[in-house]
Structure formats: C-alpha cells, structure tokens
Structure 1
Amino acid sequence: MVIMSAGRRRNNRIPIALFFIGVVALAIRLALQLRGRDPEDADAYAGVVSMWLGIASIALSGLTALAQRNQLSQHSITPDPFESLDAVTETLAYAVRKQWSNEVEVRRVNESLPLKTRWVNGPDEISDHWPNIRDDRTQRTALQLGGQLEQIADVFGRVPSGRLVVLGQRGAGKTILASRFVLDMLERRTAGSGDPVPVLFPLGAWNPETPLRTWLADRLVDTISPELKDTDAQGTTLATRLLDKQRILPVLDGFDEIGEQLRATAIRAINADLRLGDRLLLTSRPSEYASAVADSDVLSRAAVVQLTDLTTGQIDEHLPLTTRRDGNGQTKWGSVLQRARSEPRYAPLMEVLSTPLMVMLARTVYSETGDDPVELLDILDRVALDPAADPHRALTHRLLAGFVSTVYAKSYRAGVKHLRDDYTPDKATEWLGFLARHLKRHQKTELAWWELVLAVPRWVVGVVAGAVTVLTVVPVVGFTGWAGNWHGNDGRTAWITATVVSALVCGIVGGTLIGRGRGIRSTPARLQLRAKGRMREIAGDLAQRLRSWRTAAWLLVWTAGGGFFGFAGWLTPTAAAVIPVGLAAGVFAGSGIWFVVSLIRALGVPVDPTTTVSPSDLLHTDRSTAFLQGLGVGAGGATVFWIMMLFAFEPASGLPFEEVLGAGRWAAGWVATAGAGVLIWVLYFPVWGPWLIARIVLPLTGKLPWGVMTFLDDAHRSGVLRKVGGVYEFRHGYLRDHLADTR
C-alpha cells in the first residue's frame, strides 16, 4: 500500500524573510565590529559570514523553488491518491486477518470442543424501536436474534440496520465473540468487493471527549498502518476516508471499560458520529450499558442481544471431557460436579462456573494439572464456617490465583527452552501484579511497552537523560579543548569552560524536557528511509518545516549557544571581536544541523502494515528506525559541526585550525561527534530511548524481569495476556483486577 502524501501547502513566507533579515543584520554588525581592524582579521571574519550566507542562500532558494513547484503542481490535473481505496481496503483486510488468526489460536477459540456460547434477544427498553432497526416503519415485530458462537456473523447479517449490541456478564465471552466475529466476517468478504473490513477497537482506550470517528482514525494509524495517516489536498487522512466511505466495520469491544462518569457521554458521542449506513458491533456488560442508556439514550438503530449463562448441562458436558478417565471410566470432575448439583451447600460452585471464563480457569487449574477439583468443595466447607465470607469470591479468587500459578509452574512449562530459571510462579505473579497496578494507576486497559517508562519516576528519567547528555557533550564538544595543540594559548581554558557550562545547561534543559514528558514522541516510529522517487515530496516537507515556529526556536538556541562560546573567547587576551563570530557560527551550525535532521525525518516512509502487527515487531522497527535515523543525524551533524569549526575556529581563537586540530585530530573529533549525535538522537527522539531507561530501571528495582519483552511474549503465549495490534491487554479485566490487588 503506497499512497503519496500531498499535505497542506502554505503561502506564508514571513519566517523566511525574517531569517534573511537576521542574517543581514548579523553581517552589518560584523562590518561595524571590523572597522579599523587588521585586514587579515577582517578577511577571516568576512569569510565566515560569506560562507554562511552563500550556503544558506543556496539551500533556502532551492527549497523555496521546489515548494513553489509543488504548489503549482496542485493546479494541474493529477490522479486522486485515494482512487486506490479498493487496494488499501484489501491490504487492510489482509493485515487484520493476519493479526487475529494467530490470536484466536492462543485464546482457544477454535478448539475441537468449544463451549457453546449462546445469546437471546436483549431487553426492549435498552434497544431502539424495531421499525428503526428494520429500516421499515411498517415492521414493528421483533426479530428473533438468538444464536450461538459460530452463528454470530449470520445473526449480525439478519439485522437490517447493521448495528448490534452484545451484552454479557463478566467472563461471559464477549471478547472471544468479538474476535470470532472479525474472522468470520473476513472469511465472508469477497476480494475486491469493497465490503467493509471488521476491525476490533478496545473501547477502554477511548475518551469520549474525542469524537469517535477521530479516535477510530487514530487507532487505525497506530495499530494497523501509519500510511493511513497520509492526507489529500483537503487534509483528509486515508483512515478518515476509509471510515467515511464505510470501508471499516468497527467492532467496539468493552464499552463497560469506559469510566462510569463517561459512559452516558459515550453513548451520545457514538450516536452523534454515526451516519446513515454506518454499521457496528458493540459489546458491554449489561448493567453498565443499561445505566448509560438510562442516563442518555439507546444506541441509534441498534438491536440488543444478551449472552446467557452456561447451563448445568453444558458444564457437565464440557469439563469432564478436558481430563483423562480413570480405570473405572470416571474423571476427577464427575463426582465434584455431581455433588455441586445435588447438595445445596455446594451450589455456589455451579454458579461460579456459569461463565466461559471461569470454566477456562477451572480447566487450566485442574484438568491440565494433577490437582484435584475437590479442593473447590473444601473451600466452600471452610467458607461455611465464616458467616461474613463470600463463597463466590473465595472460589473466584482460587481459580484466578491458580491460573497464573499453573501456567508458570515448571512442570507445566517443560520444554519451553527460551525461558529463564527465575520465571517462577511467585515471581511471575509479582511482575504481572506490577503491570496490572501500572494500568490501574494510569487508568488504562492497554499495556504498551513504550509506556512502561510512565512507571519510572519523572526525576529518575530526567536525571538519567541529563547525565547522559552532559557526559556526551563534555568529551565531544570539549574535544577541541583537551585534544587540541594550543601552544599555551589561553583559548584552551576558555573553550573547556564554555563546554562545561554549555553541557550543564543542555543536560538540565534536556533532562527536564525528557523527564517531564518521559520522552518526546508518544508512539513508536514505523518508518524506513527512502529517497528514490520522493524528491519533490521531501523538498515540500523541508519547506514546510522551515516555516515552523519550532525552526525559529531551534535557530535561536543555536545562535545563543554560539554567542556564548564567542563570549568565552572574548574573555581571552589573544582574541577580539569573537562574539559576532560565535553568533555566525551558531547560526551556521544550527541551520546545517536543522537541515540534516529535517532531511532525515522527511526521508522516513511508513513500513508495510502487514509487517508490524505485534509488540515485538513494533519494538524492533522503532529501534531500527532510531539507529538508522541516528546514524544519518550523527554523520550529517558532525560534518556540519566540523565545517563550521574549519571556518570559524581561527577568527574565534586567533590560532590556525591546522595547528590546533591538525594531524588527524579533527578526524577523531568527527567520529566522536557523530557517535554523540547517534546517542542523543536515540535517547531523545524515538520512544526506544525512554523505553531503554525503563528497561534498565524497572528490573533493577525488581518490578520486572530483565527480559521484559520475553516475559510479555511468554505471558501472551500462556494466555495471561492477549495482543491487540502492537499492544497487550490482560486476557480479562477480571484477571487484571485480581492481579492488581495481589501484593
């Protein structure tokens, strides 16, 4: 899927004009400073300014010409980049199918004898009027929408409005049903038909203050493909166009995960965003949905069905088939279930086992181990002795705790060679508990590896980032001071002093910036560097960045830094009028490095969406992107810096560049500067840098294991976590809440 981004063009040339005015003013100032000075000094100073003016003029003229060419090309007749919407839809369908095909295997959705999840029509008072649902004012009778798991696509197809709400108690299997619906609908699609692609969106991550369509578009970009962020001439993203053209069938899972105070707002927001012909499937717990409807309105034109509890017969049929028979042809579940059916004091066991989640936990804890489920009856006997105890809570706690212990037991994990010896059940429970509390603290349901830095105190992130900055800047920028051959010139002391002060300032500012936000980027980069066939696009991107206020701020900082070095040199008796030289050098270095950084960013293009559908893939892609961009920025920035040194060093210090930094010293300095550029870029600009801080700090404090991603991947394979695109979620909110309360 390759879509060219036209982007928005602006005609504002004021920042460029101000840029040149500033340069001219600097040149005039130099001319005034040089009046009456030695002609050789004047030539040297003038050379610095002329060098900068020439390069800046050529670069800016080229960018302006190319930007104008881009603007003129808009008025010509060009193909609409969104005409390939069919191709984009098919690529999206492939990516979603690939994502969920692997996931349903982990969740055992397609096992040979699955539980027969069933549903019936929901209460009329929380659904819309049947004439609205049936798109026919004369049809007032209710549709009978009862069915079971494998029929979900058929039932959805019988709803004329294409809007269905699925309600179910906690653990009733709503997310399993939603994922099965996605795959079944994909199987029914005909390639090239333009039929919508079902995409599952966990609603717990949505704040209804953001319009639903905007949030859905952002989620498509973040979890499926960054290419969907491309825009047309009107600024409409491809993700938004897919939604507008009804090429996406949203599957909104977990309405009850939205904060209680926001649910009524969420209903109103969904209704406000729905357009004629929009289809969707929404899942929720019954009481939370009914309460939201009571405080707002029904979901427009949506039918409602409700999952039913498992019957005693279904439990009796399923659990004995999950374990071996003994010599008498009996299973260890037989007598336990028989007593739970016949003895009233054990009735809570059948009530707890009435949801697929609890049956799955019971199967894992007892059917797949040597443990005897008669323990569940013993728990009820002990609870009966305490009138204040809750038998349902006691049984649920045992099954949830036993599930984690079982999947991490060594006997259960035999043959999994990649695991470390310290993956014990107790340790795993402790680490998972930390992750659950982390999500609860930040009111999130999705576990993103790049957001684990939020679990590290801001001051720790800031101190680490600041310290790395100082330890990088001092040896690199100070290289000229301590490695140069100064012949006793006082410029060495001035240079080193200016370096230390500048490094401290950079460390404090940078550490504060990274510490407060725990990074600059909010999501991983999924980019590859490519220039072929993109020169016009790249030039337009550079021209647009040049007009940004951030560019002016960047140049101001570099100019101030150069002026500070000039001031330090001015304090020495052997140099004079070096403050203007420092300012000119700062502007040159800032402009050149701005160009390098902006060019590297403009070279980035999104990767194929079918290659990044897991958290591990996302981590590897962001890391690779960070290092590739860092190498480009480091090499280019070092070249700009040392060209500036070549022209500005003698006017600033009074010593020839070749004498102080000859004999290959400048080459070593270039290598050190390039390495520093890579390190600073990786630490500050991608999410991988802050993640690396969390990756070290959290294991050091015992909150997570050293192999964090290995642990998360293994928790997914074990069924504790599930994947939704590039993030994890706990398999169920029940499990997450249990672990969050475990200390």
Structure 2
Amino acid sequence: MADGRIPRGRVVFVGVAAIVGAVLVPTAINVGTGGVLPAPLAGFEPWAWPVVGAGLAVLITLGVLEIQRSRDSVRAYDHPRNRANALAQVENYVTKRSAQALAERVHITLVLDQASSAVRPTPHLVQPVDEIQLPPNSSIVDAFGMFQESLLLLGEPGAGKSTLLLELGHHLVERAKHDVGQPIPVLVDLGAWSRSGRVRSRHDPEPVGVIRQRVDGSPVVARDFAGWLFAELQRRYTFPPQIARAWLAAGRLALLFDGLDEVEPADRERCVHELNLLQKTFAVPHLVVCSRDEVYKRLQGHLRLQGAVSIRPVDPGQVEEYFDKAQGRLDGLREAMRTDGALRNLARTPLVLSIMFLAYHDRPAAALAGHARLGWLFDAYVSEMVVRRRVPRTRYTAEQVARWLWMLANLDDYGRRMLLAGLPAGARRRITREDLPVLLAGCVAGMVVPMALAYGTVAGLATALVGVGHVALLDHTIGLGTVVSPVPERKWRLSAGMPLCLLGGLALGTGAFLLGDAASGMLSRWVFTALCGCAALNIVLYVARLRWPFAIPTVPLAILGGHELSEVDGVMVGFGFGATFGWALASLCVVGDMILFAVFNSEWDLRGFTIRVVVCSSPVAPIVLLVGENGSIEWPLLAGVVIGGLLAPTATETTWAWLERLRQEWCGLVVRLLLVWDGYLPWRRRAFVRYAVDRGVLVTDSGGKHRFAHALLRDHLKRRDPTQLADLIRERAARS
C-alpha cells in the first residue's frame, strides 16, 4: 500500500500459506512415506491429507477474496459518482464555514509577501531552473499556482489565513468541478490531530523520579498522523478511508491544512515531521499549510514545500478604505480612532476590523473612549452578539452563558477523553475536593445499607469500615493525598450538584451489591483460588510497591491459602461482594487519579482525601442502625469482603492498553456528568451550541463538532473571569 500499511486479508493469506506450506504439507508427506506423528497427535495419521486439502481450500478462498478486494477497491475509488459526491461534500463544508467565520463584513484585499526562506525544497518535485519570484499584488490563488501548488501561508493572529484558505478552497472546488483531472480540495484543521489521541496518564513511561508531572506539558498523546487524517476525512466529508488513501496516493486530493499553531506546543515539531513524512510516503503534489508567523519561526524543523508567503498587516489606507465601504456605519469608530492612538494601532488585522464592525457599528465615538484593548473588544463582541440576536429566543441567564462559554473555551473539544485534559483549576478542585468524596460516600451507603438489611447491622457497619479502608488503600496506591503545592484551605459549600453526586454514588453502590450477590452464586472454588493470587500480587506490586521477585513466594502461598478458605462457608459470598464493592470504589478513585495527574505547574493540595470520604460517609452509621437488625459478626463473610476488595488496585494500576482506554472513557463520562451537575456545562449541550452558533460565537462543521469562531476569541474566553463577563452582558442587555 502507498502508506506502508499491509491489508489484514493479505496478512492472513500469508500466514495461512506459511502454515500449510511449512507445517501441514511436510507433515502429510512424512505420514505418507511411513513416518509417524508426535506422541500427542498419535492416532490422527488418517486425517493428515484431509487437513492439508482443507488448508489448501482455505488458501485458495483467501486468495480469491484478496483479488476481488483489490479489484473492488480500484473500481470503488474510480467510480465517477464518488468524485461528484466528494466535491459536493467539500463545497458544502467550505460554504458553511465561510458563512460562519468571523470574516470581514466588507472585503479587504490582503497583500502577500514572499518568504521562501521559511521552507525547504520538496524532495519529490523537480526544482525549477530559475528562482520563483512572486509578482506584486498576487492573490492566494496566484501564489498557489506560482509555487507549484506547494505552499506555506504565514501571518499574524487574525491576519486572514483561514479566510484566504477558504478562498483558495472555493477556487479549487470550482476548478475541480470543470476539470476532472484536477484534485479535490479538502480543508483539515491540524489542531484536531494533537487532541485526537489518548490522554496522558500515570501509567505512561516517565523518567525516574517523575511521577505526577507531565514531562512535555502536553495532556494528550497524539495518534498516528496518516490514520488520523483518513479518519478526519471520513468524519468531515464522509470519504471512506480506503478511497481517501487511494485518492491521496494517486494525487487526486489537494490537502489544505489550517492551524499548525493550533497544534499542542509539545507536538508541533512532530507535526512538521509528520507532514514531511506524509509527502514522502504519498508524494503529495498539492499541499498548503497555514501557521502563525511567530509560532513557525520558533520551530527547529522546516516544512518541505516549494514556497512560502506571509500576509502583510493591514495599513492605514486599507483601514480607511474599509470604513468608506461601511457606508457610514463606522463613522463613530473612525472618529474615535483619530483621537485614540491605541485604538488605531489595534486595527491591524481583518479579524479585529470585522469584530469592530460587529461590536461598534452605529455607536458614537464617546461610547468607545478608553476601550483600546483587544480583550475589551472581544468582551464587547460577545456581549453584543449574545444580546442582539434573538433567534432562538434567549432562555439562558448571563451567568450561564458566561460560565458555559468559559468552560467550553477551556475544554476546546467536547470528547469525553478531552474533558480530562482541559479542565480549569476551579473545576478540578471542585470535583476532587467536593464531588468525589460525596460520590464515594454515596457508593459506600449504596453498598452498606443492603448489606445491613440482608446480613444484619454488624455486617453493615463492618462493611462500611472495610469500604473506608479500601478508599484509604486506593488513596495510598494512587496518591490522591499527594501534595503538589500547598494552598489555603477553602470551606465546603453545599451546591445543587452534591445531592446528584450522592444519588449517583447510591446507584453505583447498590448496583455493586446486586452484582456481587449474583457473582457470589456463580463463583467457583478454582476461580476464587486464582483471584486470591491476584489479590496477593496487588499487595506486593501496588500496595507495598515491591518488585516482581517478591511476588514469587507470596502468590503461591496466597493461592494455597485461598484454596483452604474456599471450603469455609461464607468466604466466597463475601468475596463476591468485596470484589464488586472494591471495583466500584476504584472506578471513582481513578477519576481523581486522572484529574490529579493532569495538573501541571498548578497549585494543588489534596491532603486528607480519605478523611473527607470518612466525614461524608459518617451519616451511614446511624442509617444502618435504624434499618438493620442486630446480629453477630460473620467473620468468614467479612474476611471475604476484605480479600475481594484487594482486587481493586487492579482497576487503577494495571497498565493494559485496553484497560487504560476503558479508564479514560469512563473518567470522561463521570467528569462530564459532574460538570453538568455542578453547572459548568449545560444539560442540553446541542441546544446551547445552536444558541452560540446563531450568535456567531461558535461554529460547527458537517460532522457536528463545534469550535470557536476564532482561536483568539477562544483564548480570550479561556482567560476571562465568567462573573465579570456576565456583568458586561447584563449591562449591554440593560441598554437595549
């Protein structure tokens, strides 16, 4: 394959051929010439040649299927309907994105300057005899053609890079519609690549001595670039991966990458390498990459492209021309800029001029005095757009809008895994210091109360103590009590989210009781014995933090002890309850683990996590005394609960890849629920996204994913105090 990947069918075909040719056929020949099979296979000699025949039949079938697959692949991507549908998908996306973008309301002609020293020659293209010189007043389409459709586009933040890329996309779509030999343009946001992988966790390989801090500051490990690209083309344009791969290898796609500066700083060098590798692998003849000028200059590597251009900042003459085309709606702004030099210096990019038009049009000059800051400009834009537009009718308070926009700006991507990587410090503190202890207390209550009803008050109270002990054990293994940096203690405050956390914990604990009751009846002695060995392994590796050699004598002794305990009535019943109880508690503690690890250079203090859980769980004792009946201590049952709970560290410490993915998905789901319960996110996300899209704050693509109208707007809202922004929205609403 052009991207270096070997199809699975071909791998299976080669494997079956190797088995048939290297094992089955020689064995059958040996039997046919008077030989014998090895002792374990004695008596199967008559089956030797039938097995070879069956293997050959499977081999022929796989070969036919592989040939058919190859033909179908070629026929599929050559189907004429695919190209027409693909162009329609791209045109729809480009048109929709252009309509949603914060582009200038009155068109400004941007000036491009040549910057060829920013790139290195493309290895798969023959270089021209004479150096390419960009003529004055060249458009982005002219530059794309002059530099052989291999171009780097640089500019200041808000200079119009995305706008020019959309303009180029429109031109290439029209060109491809009239000429079947021209490539299909596809716009792709590079920032999505660095957020596409898994969130870093405590189980990633780290240098010695580094446990809780991310080495490179990046919260996410980006995935394979080519695989991500084909998945993104499928999500955004519905291109099947095999068709997109075939088109790219055949030079039938023009890749327009936006936002190299939006890639996580730790991944930018790798992104440049991946883009160069993509060209080397597929010999991509049509490629454009956009980036902020200062970000690209800080990179050590250079892109392999034929040329580079930089967008020149807007000059005063262009600003005056812009005001003239506004037909008097910006006269107040023009007058204010003549007397305010800071406000005049602010108007250097099309983005700022567009926001000025939206926020300041038809406003008198006196109302704009002293507001020459980019942050104030973004505040005015958000306030103006939220208050002015009434479709759909406003149904959110100013506090809700400000807080939800602030949270969405911090999260940037609403995927469950990305919630862990983008949580602001206030939300992290709220979840780990208030929500998780209440959730764990609810889980303890949900398990203990049914135990008290089924086995008596003493059994219920003992189970509560065991549950708190399991939390302390998990606190020790995970390190939730680790002090990163002491900060002043804050008092707890009751919120609407806490009762919901309590109910959620009760549901989880009750579910653990019911599952443990079912598991106890199905648990066999041999399974119980093996799980006792696993519990001993957890103690050695995760609790005592010893090395593997110490487990060699411990695990066999635990297995022997488990075999003896399995004959004691009540132990296996308690073991089922303890295992499900421990895993339920671990499923909540692992959320704190993920959140704590994501803290980087932040003031944090999680001392006394177990004490918080104990305090929250203290009301369980009188409830048990009220609902349960007195009874004696059932030591076998209690011993089984304790042993079963020792399996809990397996859920938090095991480094299996599939379990790590499951942990991240589960933690993302829990954190999302907690953010909704605490009021950081709306209950109906899609409704609020539609609300923000209508007001020009968010935009959505054809795949349903949202993003902010501009990265500068997102960065501003990320740093903005939502309370102050809500006050500005209310002030603007009072004037309307």
Taking structure 2 as the reference length, the TM-score comes to: 0.54
Residue 395 of structure 2 corresponds to residue 420 of structure 1 = yes
Match of 1:337? 334
Q: Which amino acid aligns with 1:96?
A: V
How has the CA–CA distance of structure 1 residues 498 and 140 changed in structure 2, closer, same or farther, with 3 Å as cutoff? closer
Aligned sequence identity (%): 20
Alignment of 1:434-449 (within 5 A): 434-439=407-412, 446-448=413-415
Number of the residue aligned with 1:403: 381
Q: CA deviation at 1:280?
A: 0.7
Matches within 5 A, 1:301-316: 301-316=305-320
Secondary structure in structure 2 of the residue aligned to 1:416 = coil
How many Å separate the matches in 2 of 1:67 and 1:322?
Answer: 77
- SS at structure 2 position matched to 1:309: coil
How many Å apart are 1:75 and its aligned residue?
1.4
DSSP-derived class of the 1:314 partner: helix
Q: Residue 230 of structure 2 aligns with which residue?
A: 217
Deviations 1:586-616 (A, max 9, x none): xxxxxxxxxxxxxxxxxxxxxxxxxxxxxxx
Equivalences for residues 346-365 of structure 1 within 5 A = 346-365=340-359
Select the residue among 689, 694, 701 that pairs with 2:678: 701
Match of 1:730 in 2: 708
Q: Could you tell me which residue of structure 1 aligns to residue 719 of structure 2? A: 741
Q: Secondary structure at the match of 2:358?
A: helix
Match of 2:188 among 165, 185, 201: 201
1:306-705 alignment to 2 at 5 Å? 306-319=310-323, 322=326, 331=328, 333-334=330-331, 336-338=333-335, 340-341=337-338, 343=339, 346-367=340-361, 371-379=363-371, 394-409=372-387, 412-417=388-393, 419-422=394-397, 424=398, 426-439=399-412, 446-448=413-415, 451-452=418-419, 455=423, 468-472=507-511, 474-475=513-514, 478=517, 500-508=577-585, 693-705=670-682
Q: Is the contact made by 2:134 and 2:143 (CA closer than 8 Å) also made in structure 1?
A: no
Question: Match of 2:12?
Answer: 9
Tell whether the 8 Å contact from 1:256 to 1:288 is kept in structure 2 after alignment: yes
What is the aligned partner in structure 2 of residue 287 from structure 1? 294
* Cα 1:104–1:333 shift into 2, 3 Å: closer
Q: Decide which of 109, 114, 118 is 1:126's aligned counterpart.
A: 118
Q: How far apart, in 1, do the equivalents of 2:411 and 2:668 lie?
A: 15
Q: Is the 8 A contact 1:153 1:184 kept in 2?
A: yes
Structure 1 residues 607-652: Cα deviation after superposition (integer angstroms, max 9, x where no partner): xxxxxxxxxxxxxxxxxxxxxxxxxxxxxxxxxxxxxxxxxxxxxx
Deviation at 1:173, TM superposition (A): 1.3
Q: Deviations over 1:34-71 (max 9, x none)?
A: xxxxxxxxxxxxxxxxxxxxxxxxxxxxxxx9999765
CA distance in 2, matches of 1:467, 1:239: 48
Deviation, structure 1 residue 447: 4.8
CA contact (8 A) 1:469 1:510 kept: no
**Deviations 1:507-563, CA, capped at 9 Å, x for gaps:** 346556777679xxxxxxxxxxxxxxxxxxxxxxxxxxxxxxxxxxxxxxxxxxxxx
Assess, with a 3 A threshold, how the Cα gap between structure 1 residues 311 and 145 changes in structure 2: closer, same or farther.
closer
The whole-number CA distance in structure 1 between the counterparts of 2:296 and 2:60 is 53
1:74 aligns with 2:71: no
Q: Measure the CA separation in 1 of the matches of 2:84 and 2:59.
A: 32
The offset of 1:731, in angstroms, is 2.0
Contact 1:365-1:406 within 8 A present in 2 as well: yes
CA–CA distance in structure 1, aligned partners of residues 715 and 95 of structure 2: 27
The 1:435/1:71 distance shift into structure 2, 3 A limit, reads farther
Question: How far did 1:10 drift?
Answer: 7.7
Q: Alpha carbons of 1:732 and 1:69: their partners in 2 closer, same or farther (altered >3 Å)?
A: farther
Deviates more, 1:358-367 or 1:464-473: 464-473
Partners in 2 of 1:194 and 1:66 — Cα distance?
Answer: 48
In the alignment, the residues of structure 2 paired with residue 472 and residue 194 of structure 1 have an alpha-carbon distance, to the nearest angstrom, of 61
Deviation at 1:400?
0.9
- How many residues in Structure 1 have an aligned counterpart in Structure 2? 464
Alpha-carbon offset, residue 199 of structure 1? 2.0
- 2:115–2:307 CA contact under 8 A, matched in 1: no
Residue 259 (structure 1) shift: 4.7
CA distance in 2, matches of 1:373, 1:190: 48
1:139 matched to 2:106: no
Aligned position for 1:178: 165
Q: Given the alignment of the two structures, is residue 271 of structure 1 paired with residue 276 of structure 2, yes or no?
A: yes
Contact 1:168 1:306 (8 Å CA) reproduced: yes
Amino acid at match of 1:165: L
Say if 1:238 and 1:510 are closer, same or farther in 2 by CA, change over 3 A: farther
Deviation of 1:220 (Å): 2.8
Compute the TM-score of the two structures, normalised by the length of structure 1.
Answer: 0.53
Name the Cα RMSD after superposition.
Answer: 4.5
Check 1:430–1:403 CA distance in 2 against 1; reply closer, same or farther (3 A cut): same
1:156–1:162 contact (8 Å) kept in structure 2: yes
Letter in 2 for 1:122: Q
Name the structure 2 match of 1:589: none
Cα distance, 1:108–1:358 mapped onto 2, change above 3 Å: closer
Which residue of structure 2 lines up, in the alignment, with residue 256 of structure 1? 261
Q: In the alignment, which residue of structure 2 is the partner of 1:675?
A: none
**Equivalent residue, structure 1, for 2:558:** none
